[in-house]
Amino acid sequence: MNILITGGAGFVGSNLVRQLQSTQPDAELLVVDDFRSGSFANLADEHGQGFSYRGEVIARPLHELDLGGLVEDFQPTVIFHEASITDTTVTDQAQMIAHNVEPFGVLLSLAAEMQIKLVWASSAATYGTTANGATRARRPFHLNDAGQPANVYGFSKWLMENLARQTMGDYPGAHIVGLRYFNVFGPGESHKKHMASMIYQLAQKMLAGDRPRIFHDGEQARDHVYVKDVVECTLAGAEAGAVSGIYNVGTGTATSFNQIVASLNEALGTSYEPDYFQNPYSFYQDYTCADLSATKEGLDWEPAYTTHEAILEYADELKARHNASA
């Protein structure tokens, strides 16, 4: 089995590579990553788990590669497409769409025509700040609530979904699974820097002896999902029984930032009160929650961790990294 992983040195991608190499040791893996937000350390022994990537790495942006030639030469059985510009502060709209959408269209055509399984990362950013009233009602986001992205990153993912839906219509037998990741956190995210999860950033403040700063009144709530669950859902998307389509990947529960601080205090052995400040952003997405009913049915998957359980486990690594750098 040959497996192509784009964005394989990034946060989710590198966790996926680790799991694939562990569970499918005879598979040949090929990582393509431009190292915009990824790092070689994600493919080395940064986490002290005895991991060392054994495959090949192509360090180029997808839009600069002859993807047809690459796929023809490597003959992948599965393509896991994690590569994209994920920095939502990027304001160059043409760059965002060119890097995220255009290579994806090529991969879609190749996968459909060559009968290669394609599992790819969309985003909850496709829901935008209103999600057709779901935010105001504080109910889980249904798949058809999407389509109102609030930034060009979310728009690029929406365009990718449109391309996927068109391709699935043109090739009914194709295996194409898109996954709307909600707020992912866990090992391997430190290289994302300011784009790392709020759980990671709040933990760093608290480990440094500072109160965690969150928007007033801390009741903004997000669906924070552990990267281990995200990896398992991504792998489920490549199983023979997976039904092609677009799916949510989250916990199915919205956790407030006040609750996050409380969980971090328990996990880190601290007792900090939040330092509240006013939210300056009118477009802020103050609520997200994944409806997982379609995911459970189409992919036979549901999360193994609650957000609280995942924070308790993740804290061990966060404390170890902090102590090592002290």
Catalytic residues: 153, 192
Three-class DSSP category at 285 = coil
Which residues on adjacent β-strands are paired with residue 180? 122, 248
Task: Give the span between the Cα atoms of 162 and 180, in whole angstroms.
Answer: 13
Task: Give the span between the Cα atoms of 23 and 15, in whole angstroms.
Answer: 12
Report which residue type is found at 127.
Y
Give the tokens for residue 302.
């549901």
Give the tokens for residue 191.
């290289």
> Residues 2-20, buried b or exposed e (16+ Cβ, 10 A)?
bbbbbbbbbbbbbbbbbeb
Which residues on adjacent β-strands are paired with residue 105? none
Task: Give the span between the Cα atoms of 174 and 188, in whole angstroms.
Answer: 32
Q: Could you tell me if 271 and 211 are in contact, meaning their C-beta atoms sit under 8 angstroms apart?
A: no
CA 150 → CA 128, 154, 285, 291, distances in Å? 5, 7, 9, 20
Task: Give the span between the Cα atoms of 79 and 177, in whole angstroms.
Answer: 11
> What is residue 240's DSSP assignment?
T
Q: Residue 75: left (phi > 0), alpha (psi -120 to 50), or beta?
A: left
Task: Give the span between the Cα atoms of 223 and 236, in whole angstroms.
Answer: 20
